[in-house]
Structure 1
Amino acid sequence: MAETEIETPGEVIERVFTAKAREAGFEFDEDDLIVLALAAQTAEDIGALDRSIATKGAVIGSEANPKPNPALTEVRQQRLALGRLMADLDRRLGIAAQGGSSGFRGRYDGDGSQNQQRDATRARQRGQGRQARPGALRGA
């Protein structure tokens, strides 16, 4: 019977996201690869922390002075970070599927008119409202 190699959590994340990108017909940019590497490393860190907790237990220290294992807090933070990194990779793939982006802010195709309309509306509203009328605050 041949021995099968078990994938690490980081390898699984890399395999899943590269398969998603390949399936959609995309290649990762360098910044996407950095986020993917961070996600893979975070998954590996979580595995190491889980092993530490399993080995040392959730409570460390003496019976007279028990303390929670600091790995408990760290593993929670790393799981939150991993969730955010994976969500970011999914978001990046979604943006690419909608026509792509360049960098973190995405591609700008507007002409600025939406900003001009917003600024004009705000300018019209200045001077309106309770705070803009000092006499209203004093009861005059």
Structure 2
Amino acid sequence: MTDTTDTAETDAPVTLLWGGRRLWRAVTADYELSEHETSLLLQACRTVDLLDQLQARLDADGPIVESPHGLKAHPAATELRQQRITLARLLAALGLPSGEDDDGAEQRTQQRRSTRGVYAANVGAP
């Protein structure tokens, strides 16, 4: 992933809804993504759209619903939690920086880790 100013890459896929398109444009406006990174971003954007839909359903119905066995938590609440975890993992896999440097520098950098990430063996350890 590299910084870019090419606006042609910021066109979001037409299948995305508002939230997904917003994430797509925010990322592609600043970075030039490889093919696998673009795929990860698309899945993250779709997840954002699903989260928006689930939240709208939960807002409309409330957190508790009636079932044949009595009151229970709305199924959308459980799915929201799962999809939030999925989104966090997709964004982590994409490897976007968490924010600007303290000095406000425009140049963003990315820390790349090996495939094993933080679980990689420390070769120099005693």
**Fold shared by both chains (TM-score > 0.5):** yes
1:10 aligns to 2:20 (yes or no)? yes
The structure carrying a bigger helix percent of its residues is: 1
In 1, Cα distance between the equivalents of 2:69 and 2:34? 54
1:1-140 → structure 2 map (5 Å cutoff): 8-21=18-31, 27-61=32-66, 65-91=70-96, 94=110, 105=115
Whole-Å Cα distance in 2 between the matches of residues 62 and 91 of structure 1?
42
Give unmatched runs, 5+ long, in structure 2: 1-16, 98-108, 116-121
Tell me by how many angstroms 1:88 deviates.
2.2
Larger CA Rg, structure 1 vs 2: 1
Q: Secondary structure of the equivalent of 1:94? A: coil
Structure 1 residue identity aligned to 2:34: D
Query: Taking every aligned residue pair, what percent have the same amino acid on both sides?
Result: 28
Deviation by residue 1:18-38 (Cα, 9 ceiling, x = unmatched): 1221xxxxx211111110000
- Distance in 2, matches of 1:62 and 1:86, equals 35
Measured on the aligned residues, the alpha-carbon RMSD in Å equals 3.1
TM-score (norm 1): 0.55
- How far the C-alpha of 1:73 sits from its partner, in A, is 0.9
Give per-residue Cα distances to partners, 1:65-120, cap 9 Å, x unaligned.
Answer: 1111011011011112112212222359725xx7xx9xx84xxxxxxxx97x99xx
Q: Residues 90, 64 of structure 1: CA spacing in aligned structure 2 closer, same or farther, 3 A cutoff?
A: closer
- Rounded Cα–Cα distance in structure 1 between residues aligned with 2:69 and 2:86: 34
Q: TM-score, normalised by structure 2?
A: 0.60
Amino acid at match of 2:44: A
Q: Whole-Å Cα distance in 2 between the matches of residues 30 and 76 of structure 1? A: 28
Q: Which amino acid aligns with 1:94?
A: Q
| Number of equivalenced pairs | 94
* CA deviation vs aligned residue, 1:2-45 (integer Å, no higher than 9, x gap): xxxxx711111111111221xxxxx2111111100000000000
* Gap runs ≥5 in structure 1: 1-6, 22-26, 106-113, 122-140
SS of alignment partner, residue 61 of structure 1:
strand
